[in-house]
């Protein structure tokens, strides 16, 4: 889609919300794949750290799991454990997303950047908790709303970390960005879902590539659709305690 002269003065986010981007699904996926190749060592190290954290959390929670004769199980203090897990994991997942974004911006960082967002733990955890609630409610009502919220909120943690938005504003803006190009983004998620099918078929070996690829893909999408420009939330004249996206 050609861009007119006025588009040159608009931010990446403005062009996204106006649906004036040229979005090539194949090109985006190939770029993410190439980025994964170029930065594989850093990405896989960060992914390993995240997996180890999950393993440690699993080991800690194991004494609270009761397995019944019929194969079902219950978890004591389940709500507390889930919330604690979100607080521990959300800054690390954000760090992985931001590693993918830094590669998309051609400013590679080391694996230690994974821990850069621990100071934002409360904002990130709150964002992730709201995301989880929305997704679970969607899955309870119908499967499609749950899948929608899973995909539509993909950029929310990055918006909190990169743009210093509040959790609510980050979630709403993430949904607006997804809605603008929902078809193309859904196609990319479907490609990742097909690749995920290979994980059990390869006894988990394909996860070594698929996991870094996922974070690279989200980084490429974020940079293409939101970019590095500041998202302003300026108060409107004659309005108090209200703000809006200047987008």
Render pLDDT for 23-42 as a digit per residue (tens, 0 to 9): 899 999 999 999 999 999 99
Whether residue 118 lies inside any domain: the answer is yes
- For the cut 50, the answer to whether the pLDDT of residue 3 exceeds it is no
Whether residue 2 lies inside any domain: the answer is no
Q: N- to C-terminal Cα distance for the chain?
A: 20
- For the cut 70, the answer to whether the pLDDT of residue 156 exceeds it is yes
Domains in the chain, number: 1
78-125 pLDDT tens trace: 788 889 999 999 999 999 999 999 999 999 889 999 999 999 999 999
215 token code pair? 């974070």
Q: Could you give the 3-state DSSP secondary structure of residue 233?
A: strand
204 vs 61: CA distance, rounded Å: 23
Q: Is 74 or 43 the better-scoring residue by pLDDT?
A: 43
* CA max distance for the chain: 69
pLDDT for position 8: 58
Whether residue 237 lies inside any domain: the answer is no
How many other CB atoms are there within 10 angstroms of residue 20's CB atom?
16
Domain that holds residue 191: 10-66+77-229
184 token code pair? 């193309």
Poorest-pLDDT segment among 127-141, 187-201, 211-225? 127-141
Whether residue 3 lies inside any domain: the answer is no
Whether residue 235 lies inside any domain: the answer is no
SS3 content of the chain, % helix, strand, coil (to 5): 70, 5, 25
Whether residue 243 lies inside any domain: the answer is no
Whether residue 246 lies inside any domain: the answer is no
138 vs 146: CA distance, rounded Å: 4
Whether residue 72 lies inside any domain: the answer is no
Residue 66's φ and ψ, nearest 5 degrees, are -115, 120
């Amino acid at each position: 889609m050609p861009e007119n002269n006025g588009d040159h003065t608009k931010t990446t986010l403005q062009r996204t919300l106006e649906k004036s981007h040229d979005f090539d699904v194949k090109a985006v996926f190939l770029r993410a794949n190439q980025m994964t190749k170029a930065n594989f060592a850093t990405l896989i190290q960060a992914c390993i750290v995240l997996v180890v954290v999950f393993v440690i959390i699993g080991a800690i929670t194991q004494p609270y799991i009761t397995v019944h004769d019929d194969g079902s199980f219950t978890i004591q203090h389940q709500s507390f454990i889930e919330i604690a897990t979100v607080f521990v994991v959300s800054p690390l997942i954000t760090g992985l997303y931001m590693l993918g974004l830094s590669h998309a911006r051609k400013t590679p960082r080391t694996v230690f950047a994974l821990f850069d967002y621990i100071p934002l733990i409360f904002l990130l955890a709150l964002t992730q908790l709201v995301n989880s609630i929305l997704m679970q409610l969607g899955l309870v009502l119908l499967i499609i709303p749950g899948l929608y919220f899973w995909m539509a909120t993909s950029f929310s943690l990055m918006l909190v970390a990169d743009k210093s938005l509040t959790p609510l504003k980050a979630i709403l803006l993430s949904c607006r960005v997804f809605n603008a190009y929902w078809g193309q983004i859904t196609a990319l998620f479907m490609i990742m879902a097909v690749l995920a099918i290979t994980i059990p078929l390869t006894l988990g070996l394909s996860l070594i590539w698929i996991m870094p690829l996922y974070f690279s893909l989200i980084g490429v999408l974020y940079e293409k659709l939101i970019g590095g420009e500041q998202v302003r939330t300026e108060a409107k004249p004659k309005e108090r305690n209200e703000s809006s996206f200047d987008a």
